Structure 1
Amino acid sequence: MLKDNYECFDVTISDKVAHIVLSRPEAMNSMNKAFWNDLPQIIQAIDRGALARVIVISSQGKHFTAGMDLSIFAGDDLTSAEQHDQYINADVFRNNLKRIQHSFNVIEEARMPVLVACQGGVIGGGIDMICAGDIRWCTSDAFFCVQETNIAMTADVGTFPRLQRYVSESWVKQMAYTGERVPAEKAKEIGLVNDVFESHDQMLTHVMAIASEIAKKSPLAVTGCKTLINYGRDHSTSDTLDYIGVWNAGMLAESHMQEAFTASMEKREAVFPELGKTRDTAF
């Protein structure tokens, strides 16, 4: 269930589109503890409750996000202060890190598409975040940076398995090894974003129009597209074609198709059933 307010986000739902806005511009939308805890709760509440057909993520202020808030590195957030054995600490670190990774995994796992609109800096964890989404756009002042290298870290929340799905391995390596800033036009050239816009307003108008168009389609067909595209990315063509056959054998909805045909002939918007709600717990 969505809360009335969040420390790092503004959340609205209108016309079947959920809009999640990073709302700490005074802190460059850096990712503090509340960010990591609340984001998966928001995404999963929308997904499990079938509250929207599309999710849009954007942010307020000059920068999309400065990445991980430095406060995260203080205290015992990743490694238990009570342990002194390096191997025990390593195990604790790994398992705590998996919880952080989960905060972005839920974006990829959501049944509905997640669209991301970026401006200014998309730094460090921002790369991890946007690459978990389905489609990305940016403004002309945007830049993308694997910042972890610049602070003597190896990116560990999703950059490497996801970034190379959208850009070539050579570009992933150049961005990672150098920690350089990739400007907006280069990001479009290498395939990280679909389009570049001169202003934040122009970008959001475009992204919301795309979201609105997706929201008009059959939710079951759209979630099928997302599921099968993601499956095909990680499996052979043969395996994917077989899975597509299995999917359509069980979920090719003739009544939904008939509604789409009829609505088109009658020049009206089709009316489709929403995705079903799923449980928050196993039982």
Structure 2
Amino acid sequence: MTDHTSWKAFTVERKDHVAQVTLIGPGKGNAMGPDFWSELPVLFAELDADPDVRAVVLAGSGKHFTFGLDLVAMGGDLATVLEDGARAKARTDFHEMVKRMQAAITAVADCRKPVVAAIQGWCIGGGVDLITAADIRYASADAKFSVREVKVGMVADVGTLARLPYIIGDGHVRELALTGKDIDAARAEKIGLVNDVFTDAEAVLAAAHETAAEIAANPPLVVHGIKDVLDHSRSPQVDDSLRYVAAWNAAFLPSEDLGEAIKAIFEKRPPQFKGR
């Protein structure tokens, strides 16, 4: 049964106590634009409240999970923090925007219905923020991951740096975040970023649904309790990290390097960072 709501960035299908949420863009590669950030918390609040849904499969349409933040669509919002010498009003507005985006990803993490992510192709930047909010992550053999924010003059601020340390080791977190390098599915499995790797997109989606069905067959209140207990000790640390990075980026993100990164993307050339 297809969801009655007309979402712009997602499709939602409910069947046998499992809801499949699929990223559909509208940006290329399911990039995360304004619709994604506004709809995600509303959608997951609905799934959390739906007594018929007991587990969620999170997937991406087409060849890729997501290219991450839609810098073209969101470029205007980023530009505001660079304008007018980034005075208090611009910084305050940016701080509020970051907190809204953080809340969108947190809605996935806080959903009482366990979320199983099925990842194929690219999962870049904001995509890593999103999958770190899932409970279980599976990948296809062609999946590639990148904590890309450092490459565009930003500190990842909507979940990756807060949640990834609870998923993989500290050294791996630092390597990915400080280099912005790409890793393949085999490396992602080796470091524990994903639970398992499957041959292709069809196989990984089938595996995600199989696990979601296993979860949905268990007593729902007990499943809620397990999630609550597992999240209890780490939630305060995650929340504190999110608050700190939102404030840090509002204070320090405005830079010549950020402007250069955005300009280089639009001009399709390598950026020249100068530390200013």
Structure 1 and Structure 2 fold alike (TM over 0.5):
yes
Counterparts of 1:14-29 in structure 2, within 5 Å, are 14-24=15-25, 27-29=28-30
| SS of alignment partner, residue 74 of structure 1 | helix
How far apart, CA to CA, are the structure 2 residues paired with 1:208 and 1:78?
A: 40
Give 1:5's aligned residue: 6
How far apart, CA to CA, are the structure 1 residues paired with 2:158 and 2:12?
A: 24
Cα displacement (A) at 1:26? 7.0
- The AA in structure 1 aligned to 2:181 is E
Q: CA RMSD in A?
A: 2.2
Larger Rg: 1
Matched-pair contact (CA < 8 Å) for 1:56–1:115: yes
Matched-pair contact (CA < 8 Å) for 1:78–1:96: no
- The AA in structure 2 aligned to 1:71 is V
- The AA in structure 2 aligned to 1:142 is A
Alignment gaps of 5+ in structure 2: 238-276
Cα displacement (A) at 1:75? 2.7
Check if 1:124 corresponds to 2:125: yes
> How many correspondences in the alignment?
235
- The AA in structure 2 aligned to 1:217 is N
Give 2:225's aligned residue: 224
**Length-normalised TM-score, structure 1:** 0.78
| SS of alignment partner, residue 148 of structure 1 | helix
Q: 1:220 to 1:149 in 2, by over 3 A?
A: same
Give 2:62's aligned residue: 61
Give 2:273's aligned residue: none
How far apart, CA to CA, are the structure 1 residues paired with 2:115 and 2:75?
A: 31
- The AA in structure 1 aligned to 2:218 is K
**Length-normalised TM-score, structure 2:** 0.79
| SS of alignment partner, residue 44 of structure 1 | helix
Check if 1:103 corresponds to 2:104: yes
| SS of alignment partner, residue 234 of structure 2 | helix
Give deviations 1:50-77, integer Å, cap 9, x for gaps: 3400011011111110000123433347
Give deviations 1:113-134, integer Å, cap 9, x for gaps: 0110000110010000000110
Cα displacement (A) at 1:25? 8.0
Give 2:176's aligned residue: 175
Alignment gaps of 5+ in structure 1: 237-283
Give deviations 1:119-154, integer Å, cap 9, x for gaps: 011001000000011010000111110111111211
Structure with the higher helix share, 1 or 2: 2
How far apart, CA to CA, are the structure 2 residues paired with 1:24 and 1:144?
A: 18
Give 1:208's aligned residue: 209
Check if 1:44 corresponds to 2:41: no
- The AA in structure 1 aligned to 2:195 is N
Matched-pair contact (CA < 8 Å) for 1:79–1:96: no
